[in-house]
Amino acid sequence: MTDSTKSGFYQETAGPDQTFLDANELVLNMGPQHPSTHGVLRVILRLDGEKVLGTECVIGYLHRGVEKIAENRTYTMFNPYVDRMDYVAAVSNGLGYCLAVEKLLNIEAPPRAAYIRVVLTELNRMASHQLWLGTHALDIGAMTPLFYTFRDREEILKIYEKYCGARLTTHAFRIGGTLYETYDGFEQDVNNFVKFVTPKIGEYEELLTTNRIWVERTKGVGVLSGKDCIDFGVTGPVLRAGGVKWDLRKAQPYSMYDKFDFEIPTGENGDTFDRYIVRIAEMRQSLRIIDQAVNSIPAGPIMAKVPKVMKPAVGEVYVSIEAPKGELGYFVVSDGSTQPYRVRVRPPSFVNLQALDKMVRGALVADVVAVIGTLDIVLGEVDR
């Protein structure tokens, strides 16, 4: 543990990772503008030839001060801002925030709203994983899966567009439920999507799962065991690939997730290949949830009784959900006024990125991009 926590590599000099033949080290600045750092992440690599001796992540290039903005907006006004954090899973962000404020207000969304939320959130998980798969494959050099996944993700975005008019930063949920009723044919669209995309997942697998180069590039790369994951606070598919069967949707169900039947896929080795398999399996589980949820949306109101001016009682809550990237938490403090006194976002990408150094030490440059890809970070969320 002691070694891995020393991320500032400037202090480190000699040691077990001295360079081969005492050659000079090469310090390579990967990013902030680099094709595969998934945004404006800068990773300073200390290299011995191709071997990575140490890394340091420099983040914050996309810092917009979301938490400070929250303190200067009302609860309702801040709602759209959260979509801009993890912009590929905007719906999940919105769900987490709404649940947190609902908890603070001590209200609960009506069942119909909860079901709609589940459908949209799981669709979003699909979309996020598809985008991850495409870009991750591109990082490893396989171009084609990117276009396949984007083709299928498009169908999800179309459903969002029909539902709330926006494709990416949807602002689909409101505190207390949802603003929009499902449109005519929503169930049909979602069912069609499930039917359409189920064989497509097999198609992605055909391209990659048994591809020798893909397996060689991912097996044993960036290993992070379940124990290390917990130590580093890494959650989501990365944790599950390490063999820890933990999913907030099961462990502490929210938004009626306990009503649905699904499994938590896990891996064994905690390497890049396992994370790939886990995410593929999660897509299938998401489809299962969508299938169950969309065909049993109960009738009823979609909005709880929410005061026009929200003034939650003084207090603080922490509510977290299982976002596609891991545990996404909101720690909201109210001082009894209309504006949150403090909103703290616990971003899964930020915490997961911390494990990068441990995962790539001793690996090769090509593994660094594979590992950055497999962590599934979104810089909008890392930097907030």
Partner 1 sequence: MLDYVTSYLHSSLTPGQAGNWLWALVYILVIFAGVSGIVIVMNWGERKALAHMQVRLGPMRVGPHGLMQPIADAIKLLTKEDIMPSEADKPIFWLAPVWVVMIAFSVFIVVPFGPTHAVTDMNIGILFMLGVSSLGVLGIVMAGWASNSHFPLMGALRSSAQMVSYEIAMGLAVVSAIVMTGLGGIGPYGIGSGAGSGTLSMIGIVQAQAQQHVWFIFKFFPVGLVAFFIFAVAMIAETNRAPFDLPEAESELVAGFHTEYSGLRWSLFMLGEYAGMVAVSSIAITLWLGGWLRPFPSTHGPAINIPFLWEHPEQGVVDFAFSFAPALVMLALAFFSFFNAMRMPKHPLLKIQTIGLYAFGLVLAGVGLILLAPPVRDRIQDIFWFVFKIACFMYLYIWYRATWPRYRFDQLMKVGWKVLLPLGLGVLLVTGIIGLGPEIAAWLKGVV
Partner 2 sequence: MADETTSKDQPKPPESKPAAEKPAAPPAAKAAAAPSAKPAGPTPQPWESEMVAKFKARFGSGIREASTYVGQNYMVVDGSIVYEALQLLREDEGFDYCVDITAVHYPKREEQFDLVWILYSFPRNERIRVKTLLKDGASVPSVVAIWSTANWLEREVFDMFGIGFDGHPDLKRILLPDGWKGHPLRKDYPILQQDTEWVKINLGIESGQ
Burial of 35 (0-12, 13-18, 19+ CB in 10 A): exposed
Q: What is the DSSP string of 338-380?
A: SS-SEEEEE-HHHHHHTTHHHHHTTSBHHHHHHHHHHHT--HH
Question: Under the rule (CB under 8 A), what is the footprint of partner 1?
Answer: 26-29, 34-36, 49-50, 137-144, 146-148, 151, 207-208, 211, 213-214, 216-217, 364-369
Shortest distance (Å) from residue 137 CB to partner 2:
28
Asked if 233 touches partner 2 (CB under 8 A), the answer is: yes
Asked if 110 touches partner 2 (CB under 8 A), the answer is: no
Instruction: Give the separation between CA 99 and CA 45, rounded to whole angstroms.
Output: 40
Q: Which of partner 2, partner 1, none does residue 50 bind to, with CB < 5 to 8 Å depending on kind?
A: partner 1
Per CB under 8 A, contacts with partner 2 among 287-316 are 304-305, 307-309, 311-316
Alpha helices in 59-209 (DSSP H): 66-71, 75-82, 90-105, 111-140, 144-164, 186-208
Q: Which is nearer to partner 2, 97 or 193 (CB)?
A: 97
Q: Which is nearer to partner 2, 137 or 223 (CB)?
A: 223
Q: Which is nearer to partner 1, 333 or 366 (CB)?
A: 366
For the four alpha carbons of 65, 382, 98 and 134, in that order, the dihedral sign comes to positive
Per CB under 8 A, contacts with partner 2 among 350-379 are 350-351, 353-354
Per CB under 8 A, contacts with partner 2 among 187-216 are none
- Select from 137, 138, 287, 317 the one that contacts partner 2 (CB under 8 A): 317
Shortest distance (Å) from residue 244 CB to partner 2:
5
Cα torsion through 146, 152, 158, 164, rounded to 10? -80
Instruction: Give the separation between CA 83 and CA 380, rounded to whole angstroms.
Output: 10
Instruction: Give the separation between CA 55 and CA 7, rounded to whole angstroms.
Output: 7
Per CB under 8 A, contacts with partner 2 among 54-73 are 59-60, 63, 65, 67-69, 71-72
Q: Which is nearer to partner 2, 4 or 36 (CB)?
A: 4
Shortest distance (Å) from residue 359 CB to partner 1:
15
